[in-house]
Structure 1
């Protein structure tokens, strides 16, 4: 007996009707935002060589990837991320293109979560990558694009903004190895205060220890900077990312985004991957981040094409669910007329249907055997009119 022929794999699901409409509408909205700002669409293969995702500090743990082999025995993976393939693409086919490059994508990624906990293994993402540009102008461009993209879909979002360099500078002051550093980072990311305190209590107390202990709580408005500067007054390397982040926040506030922005110095996810600002987008009613991104200036070096880069990705699955839960569904034009061709008049019925569609009507062609069955079907589907095509055209209003 085939056990799995009627179910989908764990972490995947079918999409039906209104959900598909919402899904495609979001894709269209986001693509419109990106194209209006000069970004060009790219699509990368669903299968990539494993080596693309095993690039040192930018690597993805192999247990999180679905792996296959090709007919030559080479290890391949089902695409777990879009940024790394786009980095590969930039370093190869686009290496001679004028920089900066403005690229966007809408495609699926696949994560092999050991424990799903309500997560999806198949995620549709839409995002941008701005490659070959550094500095405040590039960061402002990407952040303002993120704000515009979310605002086109939902009104009640917020962007949380941090800097990878702040935690890195503080951790550098501690007498710890990479393993302990990663445990500290993970505890901060998970807001696990007890685990964080247990580790820090073993260390000699210093300004860096005190600052890291407070890091998960350094969240809020512009006032966060005052506390953060006080916590690292003796650590010059930690003050530099704070200065940059504060200036960026103030510029965004002048654009009228202040009420949508929060500072979160506890954003430390993939700290070895990101090199500058990091940010996440949240929407009321969704616990996990719907948008995530940041600056990753070291990534392209792994592909022998060093250049600064920044980007973000939006989880279309999560955004679709949120909009459907709110009843925010795109309208679909209902069928105006059902066209039924009598025996021997099937081709005439198809020609008639085409002419009716040219006049702006939404037409459905009957595939039923009799007029009576066609009328019953139209009543069930709430189609208000049936046109019978024979020697003459007859109309029945329901």
Structure 2
């Protein structure tokens, strides 16, 4: 069995165990959705590549490029009254190396009525998820509402907000300063500029935010961030938690806390989540929602070392039974062994190579 598959099954099994202990239930979705669901929310997907086809009834359908949209649609369609706490293991379809690939994604969602505990619960689950994958992890957290409260206080229009955020996400202080000088004549410029540098130890950055609390909305957002400290105290992991206001997010869909997770040896974001009430608003729902997804493909791309074999044997000549016996000797040492015909081999991911010639095993 492929080592990557073994690893995938192990990770997913551990994640399921975490989510079910928190009382979350598994949801099953269709692979197919109406094309308009994705076409109407392309900026949420951040992709132009949607695999589309016409079904037998003449309706335009798509293979799912995103799970959250499908979950929101299903729960709102079923008109669930109770708050839904669900987890999923579903495939998404995305372009990899100019080809569509089926990629597993695991995640959790809370949809319904949220309270302060909801934030603590989802962040705790995100930490447990990262730990189950790799003890050496980093979780970055931000709060979109904190930034928005400053923008609203100044009276910044939507288009300008987007430009400002682009520069904050890109940590482009020079262009942000020029943009603010041109459009904002206000004492709040220094606060907006500071968002670029507000990144680091959670406790330290939280302390720096105190001087920026100038209205009730800022206080509410600050309190939301501060309340998460109880989770980090419980996990005793403040050294792994960063507060960073340059975490990128779609302003039109997300609100409140957002977060991203990383593990050692992998520069990719492997976990991403946040609160997305605004997405539900677009479906004319007043429900709240928060959740996160784990991008399994990002884990396996960095786990290619597991594809390596320990021993490569090139068969040139000799008794096959003797060769098989040599192979089993290596296998008894817990080695992965591959035998190929001499002169007909392109395998390069091995640790040791041997040639079996005239019944003898010769290290090459």
Query: What is the TM-score of this pair, normalised by structure 2?
Result: 0.76
Cα pair distance change 1:57/1:136, threshold 3 Å: farther
* Matches of 1:81 and 1:243, distance apart in 2: 32
* Matches of 2:15 and 2:206, distance apart in 1: 33
Farther-moved stretch of structure 1 (271-280 vs 172-181): 172-181
Cα pair distance change 1:64/1:241, threshold 3 Å: farther
| Superposition pairs of residues 6-17 of structure 1, within 5 angstroms | 17=2
Cα pair distance change 1:293/1:119, threshold 3 Å: farther
Does 2:113 align with 1:130?
no
Match of 1:222? 203
Cα pair distance change 1:140/1:277, threshold 3 Å: same
1:313 CA drift (Å):
0.5
* Matches of 1:62 and 1:123, distance apart in 2: 15
* Matches of 2:100 and 2:268, distance apart in 1: 12
Equivalent position SS for 2:190:
helix
Match of 2:342? none
| Superposition pairs of residues 310-325 of structure 1, within 5 angstroms | 310-323=290-303, 325=305
Match of 1:335? none
Does 2:18 align with 1:33?
yes
Equivalent position SS for 1:127:
strand
Is the 8 Å Cα contact of residues 58 and 299 (structure 1) preserved in structure 2?
A: no
Pick the structure with more strand per residue.
Answer: 2
* Matches of 1:119 and 1:83, distance apart in 2: 23
* Matches of 2:173 and 2:328, distance apart in 1: 57
1:177 CA drift (Å):
3.7
Match of 1:152? 132
Cα pair distance change 1:106/1:209, threshold 3 Å: same
Q: What is the total number of aligned residue pairs between the two structures? A: 320
* Matches of 1:50 and 1:195, distance apart in 2: 38
Q: What does the per-residue CA deviation read over 1:87-130, in whole Å, with 9 as the maximum and x for residues that have no partner? A: 1111123x34x6222211112223459xx8x9997543111011
Match of 1:390? none
1:243 CA drift (Å):
2.2
Match of 1:141? 121
Equivalent position SS for 1:129:
strand
| Superposition pairs of residues 347-386 of structure 1, within 5 angstroms | 377=324, 379-380=326-327
Is the 8 Å Cα contact of residues 91 and 304 (structure 1) preserved in structure 2?
A: no
Match of 2:352? none
Cα pair distance change 1:214/1:67, threshold 3 Å: farther
Match of 1:287? 267
Q: What does the per-residue CA deviation read over 1:260-284, in whole Å, with 9 as the maximum and x for residues that have no partner? A: 3221122241122112111111112
Does 2:286 align with 1:306?
yes
Match of 1:364? none
Q: Cα RMSD over matched residues?
A: 3.2
Is the 8 Å Cα contact of residues 131 and 137 (structure 2) preserved in structure 1?
A: yes
* Matches of 2:175 and 2:99, distance apart in 1: 24
* Matches of 1:328 and 1:259, distance apart in 2: 33
**Structure 2: runs of 5 or more not aligned:** 309-318, 333-364
Is the 8 Å Cα contact of residues 3 and 307 (structure 2) preserved in structure 1?
A: no
Match of 1:198? 178
Is the 8 Å Cα contact of residues 124 and 231 (structure 2) preserved in structure 1?
A: no
Is the 8 Å Cα contact of residues 40 and 103 (structure 1) preserved in structure 2?
A: yes
Does 2:62 align with 1:77?
yes
Is the 8 Å Cα contact of residues 26 and 316 (structure 1) preserved in structure 2?
A: no
Of structures 1 and 2, the larger Rg is shown by: 1
1:45 CA drift (Å):
2.0
* Matches of 2:53 and 2:245, distance apart in 1: 39
Query: What is the TM-score of this pair, normalised by structure 1?
Result: 0.70
